[in-house]
Structure 1
Amino acid sequence: MSAPTLAHTFAEKLPEMAVEARAADFAAPRLVVLNEPLARELGLDPDWLRTDDGVAWLAGAAGGHATAYAGHQFGQFVPLLGDGRALLLGDLGGREIQLKGSGPTPFSRPGSDGFGAIGPMLREYLVCEFMQAVGIPTTRSLAVLDTGERVLRQQGYVPGGIVVRVAASHLRVGSVQYAATQSEDLIAAVVEAAGFATPLRMLSEVMDRQLELVVRWMRIGFVHGVMNTDNTALSGETIDYGPCAFTERFVGSARFSSIDSAGRYAFGNQPNIIAWNLTRLAEALLPLTGEDSAREVLGNIQNRWDYYWEMHFAGVDKQLATATDITTFNRQHSEGPIFIPRNQMLQRAITDAERDGDYNRYFELLNAVTDPFNPEAGPWWMKGSEGDDPFITYCGT
C-alpha cells in the first residue's frame, strides 16, 4: 500500500485560517501504540502503518496545515493562538487526522519548542479511548509515536512523543472567536464549514452538545483541567486531554492541573465554565445573529442543563454526593464502568514507559479501560479506590 490520499477540506473551505506547515524531521520515529480497529474504520492498512513508510507518514512526513484560532485562556482573551504544536494532515472519510507534538509551526509562541512529551501523549491516547468505550463523545487516538528525541520538561529530559488524533472536526469556539476578529464573511464561512445551517442553529446545537457532554463528564468524575474556549469543540467532542484526571469523590473543589492554581477549571466549576464559554461563542456570533436572538438562545442554558442532568443522573446525584468513590458507586448500581484510568495507576504506567521504556503496565491498563464493562478485562488491583492522595497532572508543553 502507498500513502493514503487525504482531502484538505479545512484548508479549502477556510483558506484564511490554514497555513501550510511541515512536521519536524525526526531521524528515528518509532510506533509505540496503534489503534488497529480505528485504522480500519478510516480505511487505513494497519500493516502498512507499521512499516517505515507508514511510521514516517504518521510522523508527518507528508506535511499538512496548521490552523488559526483565538481563545480565552483562563479567562483572558488571546486574539491569535493557532496550532503551535499541531499539524492537520487532512481528512479521510469525513474525519480529520491531526498530529499533536510534531514540532513548531507558524503559530508557535516564543519559547515553545512545538514538541510533545511521550507521557501526555500516552495519557491522551488511553483516556480518550476510555471515553469512547463508555460512550462519551470524544476525539479518538490513532497512534502514539516516540520521536526518538528528548525534550525538556518539568521533570527534566524525557522522550518526545506524538499523538495522532482523529476528530469529526477541529473547529472550536476559538475558531469562531478568531473569525470574529477578521470579518463577518469569515464568521459565516466557519458556520458553514462546521455544518450548521445558520449562526443561531450553531449556537443552539453547540449549546446542547456541550451541556450534555459536561454532564456526562460529571457523571464519571472526569475533570478536563483546561476548559479554555479553544478547547471547546463545535462538534461536541471532548478535545485536549493534557492535564485531565478523575476525581474519586463528588467534590466540587477537586482539581489536578498544575496550571490551574486558582481552581478555575475544578470539577464543580465545569458547569459554570461551559456556560461562560457558550456565552463567548454567542458574543462572537453577534454580528450575524443580533443581540436579542442570541439572548433568547442563551436564556435556555439552565433549562437544558437541568434536562441533561436529570437524564444522566436519574435521581442518584444526592447519593453520589456522599459516595466514597464514584466508580465503585456506579459499579454497585450497574450504572458505570468497572475500570477507569485512575490517576495514580495511569501515572505509574506512564512513568514506567518514560523512565524505563517499559510499556507492560500501560498496555495492561489500556486493555482494561477500553473494555471497561468486562470484569475479566483487568486484574483485581485495577478495581479498588486510590483514596485522596495528592495528584498533579502536567499538560506536556
Structure 2
Amino acid sequence: MFQFDTSYARLPHPFYTRVSPAQVPKPELITFNSDLARQLGAQDTNQSDTQLAEIFSGQRLLPGSEPIAMAYAGHQFGNFVPQLGDGRALLLGEVVGPAGHRFDIQLKGSGRTPFSRNGDGKAPLGPVLREYIVSEALHHLGMPTTRSLAAVKTGETVRRETPLPGAILTRVASSHIRIGTFEYFAFKQDVDNLKRLTEYSIQRHYPEIQNDPQADLHFFRNVGQTQVELVTGWMALGFIHGVMNTDNMSIAGESIDFGPCAFMDQFRFDQVFSSIDQFGRYNYSNQAQITLWNLSRFGNCLLLLHQDISEDELRKWNQELEALQDLFEHRHTIKMLEKLGIFDYERPNDRELIQKWLRYLEAEHLDYTLSFRALAPLVDQEAGWGAFKKTEAFQEFYNLWQERLHQQDLEVTAIQERMNQVNPVFIPRNHKIEEVIEAGRRGDFSPFHEMNEVLQTPFHEQEGRSSYRAAPRPEEMVQATFCGT
C-alpha cells in the first residue's frame, strides 16, 4: 500500500524512541479514507477490511515502517513541562505523495510509550470518531489540517471514568513537528540538536529559504504567518481548538491534536468548551493572543542559535513578532469582511462594523453559522431584515453594512454567491457528534458515515439533511467537551 521513507527516524536518538504498537485482541475496521490514500500515492488499495484493520491498528507493519514515538516539551495552560512526547501515538513512517510532498502517517491510541507517564497509551472510541469527523470537516471547509486515514475498533475496553470501547485513529500530517519540539531541545540547552531540528524543519517545510543568510529569522516569519492564517481561519468559522498548548501547535500551520475542540453554536466572545480550561485561557477570542504568545516561545527557542546576537538583530526579531500581531488583526478582518459580503479591501471603520455584528449575535443568543448564512439574502435591500430581530443594534449594523456593501462594485447576486462560498451550511455540530459517538458505542456506525458524507460538501444545501444543518435545541446543547487521554 505505502512504501515508507522516514527521514525523521534518521535524526539522532534524542528526537524519538523506537516503540512497537501494542497488540490488540480484535481489530475491526470502522472506516478507511480511500480518497486520501490515493492522494498519498497508495498502491494496491484493494485490501480486505480485515487486512486494513490489521495495518491501521499496528498489528501488521508495512515495508519500511520504523515506528517511533517523538519527543517534545510544551507549555500546557501556560506552565512549562520539559518532557511530554507521544504518549499514545506512534509515527509509522513517512510517504512521499505524487506531487513530491512528504507526509507523516501516525497511529493514535496504539499503546504505551516511554512518554506515556501514567497513561495507558490507548484511545477511547469517542475521541477517535470526533477527531476523524472534525479533521475531515476542516479539510472540506478549506482549512489546513491534519487528516484522518482510518479508524479501527480494537476489541478491548479502555478505562476512563467509565469503561469505554477502544479504538485507534490513523492520522496524516505534513509533519508532527511542534513548537514544543523546539522547546524540548531549548530547555536542555542542546544547541546542536536544536540546530539540526531547525535545519531539518526548514528543508522539509520551507526549502525556499534554506540557503538564505537569515534563514532562522525567515523561518520564524514563515511559521508565524502560517499560524496566523490558520487561527484566523478557525475564528472565521467559529471554531475553538480548546487546547492551544505549544505542544499542540504545528510548525506546518496545520490544525492538529483535536481534543476538546468544538464549533460554536450560539455566539459568545468568551466561549469555552474544554472541561479542563477552568479560567478560559483558550476561549474563542483569546485564540488571537495565545497564537502570538506561542510564537514568542518559538522565537525564544530559535534565538538560542544566536547567542551573540546584537541589539539591532534582536530588534529585528521583535519587529517580526509585532508584524505578526498586525497581520493577525488584518487577516482576521479580511476573512470576517468576506463573510459579510465585502470583498474589496479593509477600510477604516470595517473592524467596528464586524464588532457591531458580533455584539448583536451575542446579545440575541444567535447561532454563529446560521446567522451568516441567513445574512446573504439581505444583501438585496428589498428582502428586508429576514428573520433577524428588529432591534436598534441590528438597525445600526444593517445601515452601516448596506452602506459598506455599496462601496464595492459588485452586483447583488455576485455578492450573495461569494458569501455562500465562505459561509457554510453544515459544520460538525457538537450535539450531532455526540449522537454519532453514542451510536458507535452501540456498534452502529451508520450515523458516523452519514455525517462524514454530509460534511464533504459543507457549502451546499443537501436535501433530506436538515438535521445536520439545524442548531441544537436547548436540551441538546453540549456545554463541555473532553480530552481523550
Could you say whether these structures have the same fold, taking a TM-score greater than 0.5 normalized by the shorter chain as the test?
A: yes
Q: Identity percentage over the alignment? A: 39
Displacement after TM superposition at 1:377 (Å): 6.5
Give the structure 2 partner of residue 97 of structure 1. Answer: 105
Find the aligned partners of 1:237 and 1:37 in 2 and give their Cα distance: 20
Find the aligned partners of 2:449 and 2:198 in 1 and give their Cα distance: 40
Paired residue type of 1:345 = K
Find the aligned partners of 1:285 and 1:378 in 2 and give their Cα distance: 53
1:299-348 CA deviation, whole Å, 9 max, x = no partner?
21221112211221125623234231121123233231111111111111
Q: Which moved more, 1:217-226 or 1:189-198?
A: 189-198
Give the structure 1 partner of residue 438 of structure 2. Answer: 351
Give the structure 2 partner of residue 76 of structure 1. Answer: 79
After the TM superposition, which parts of structure 1 deviate over 3 Å for at least 4 consecutive aligned residues? 45-54, 289-293, 387-390
- Report the CA distance shift for 1:328/1:296 in structure 2 as closer, same or farther (over 3 A): same
> Which one of 67, 82, 88 corresponds to residue 64 of structure 1?
67
Q: Is this contact kept in 2: 1:364–1:378, CA < 8 A?
A: no
Give the structure 1 partner of residue 360 of structure 2. Answer: 322
Give the structure 2 partner of residue 392 of structure 1. Answer: 480
Q: Is this contact kept in 2: 1:331–1:337, CA < 8 A?
A: yes
- Report the CA distance shift for 1:377/1:127 in structure 2 as closer, same or farther (over 3 A): farther
Q: Is this contact kept in 1: 2:2–2:43, CA < 8 A?
A: no
Q: Is this contact kept in 2: 1:339–1:372, CA < 8 A?
A: yes
Alignment of 1:329-348 (within 5 A): 329-332=371-374, 333=376, 334=420, 335-348=422-435
Give the structure 2 partner of residue 305 of structure 1. Answer: 328
Q: Which moved more, 1:34-43 or 1:195-204?
A: 195-204
Q: Which moved more, 1:7-16 or 1:340-349?
A: 7-16
Give the structure 1 partner of residue 179 of structure 2. Answer: 173
1:63-115 CA deviation, whole Å, 9 max, x = no partner?
500000010011110111110000000100111000111100111112x0000
Q: Is this contact kept in 2: 1:249–1:321, CA < 8 A?
A: no
Is 1:130 equivalent to 2:137 in the alignment?
yes
Displacement after TM superposition at 1:293 (Å): 3.3
> Which one of 162, 166, 170 corresponds to residue 160 of structure 1?
166
Find the aligned partners of 1:107 and 1:377 in 2 and give their Cα distance: 47
Find the aligned partners of 1:367 and 1:100 in 2 and give their Cα distance: 23
Give the structure 2 partner of residue 263 of structure 1. Answer: 280
Q: Which moved more, 1:384-393 or 1:91-100?
A: 384-393
Paired residue type of 1:188 = K
Give the structure 2 partner of residue 206 of structure 1. Answer: 223
Give the structure 1 partner of residue 115 of structure 2. Answer: 107
- Report the CA distance shift for 1:25/1:382 in structure 2 as closer, same or farther (over 3 A): same
Alignment of 1:374-389 (within 5 A): 374-376=460-462, 379-386=465-472, 389=477
Give the structure 1 partner of residue 403 of structure 2. Answer: none
Displacement after TM superposition at 1:51 (Å): 4.4
Q: Is this contact kept in 2: 1:223–1:247, CA < 8 A?
A: yes
Gaps in structure 2 of 5+ consecutive residues: 97-101, 338-349, 377-419
Q: Is this contact kept in 2: 1:367–1:378, CA < 8 A?
A: no
- Report the CA distance shift for 1:51/1:132 in structure 2 as closer, same or farther (over 3 A): same
Give the structure 2 partner of residue 5 of structure 1. Answer: 3
Find the aligned partners of 2:53 and 2:5 in 1 and give their Cα distance: 20
Give the structure 2 partner of residue 287 of structure 1. Answer: 304
Displacement after TM superposition at 1:295 (Å): 1.4
Is 1:275 equivalent to 2:301 in the alignment?
no
Displacement after TM superposition at 1:371 (Å): 1.5
SS of residue paired to 1:299: helix
Displacement after TM superposition at 1:14 (Å): 4.8
Find the aligned partners of 2:466 and 2:304 in 1 and give their Cα distance: 56
Give the structure 2 partner of residue 361 of structure 1. Answer: 447
Q: Which moved more, 1:359-368 or 1:274-283?
A: 359-368
Q: Which moved more, 1:15-24 or 1:273-282?
A: 15-24
TM-score w.r.t. the length of structure 1 is 0.94
Q: Is this contact kept in 1: 2:29–2:50, CA < 8 A?
A: no
Give the structure 1 partner of residue 344 of structure 2. Answer: none
Q: Which moved more, 1:383-392 or 1:81-90?
A: 383-392
1:141-179 CA deviation, whole Å, 9 max, x = no partner?
00111011010122x111101110000010010011112
1:106-145 CA deviation, whole Å, 9 max, x = no partner?
11112x0000001101000010100000111000000111
Paired residue type of 2:224 = M
Find the aligned partners of 2:73 and 2:464 in 1 and give their Cα distance: 42
Find the aligned partners of 2:135 and 2:28 in 1 and give their Cα distance: 21
Displacement after TM superposition at 1:52 (Å): 3.3
Q: Is this contact kept in 2: 1:22–1:64, CA < 8 A?
A: yes
Find the aligned partners of 1:23 and 1:218 in 2 and give their Cα distance: 36
Paired residue type of 1:136 = M
Alignment of 1:21-40 (within 5 A): 21-40=19-38
Find the aligned partners of 1:268 and 1:58 in 2 and give their Cα distance: 37
Gaps in structure 1 of 5+ consecutive residues: none
Q: Size of the alignment, in residue pairs?
A: 392
SS of residue paired to 2:259: coil
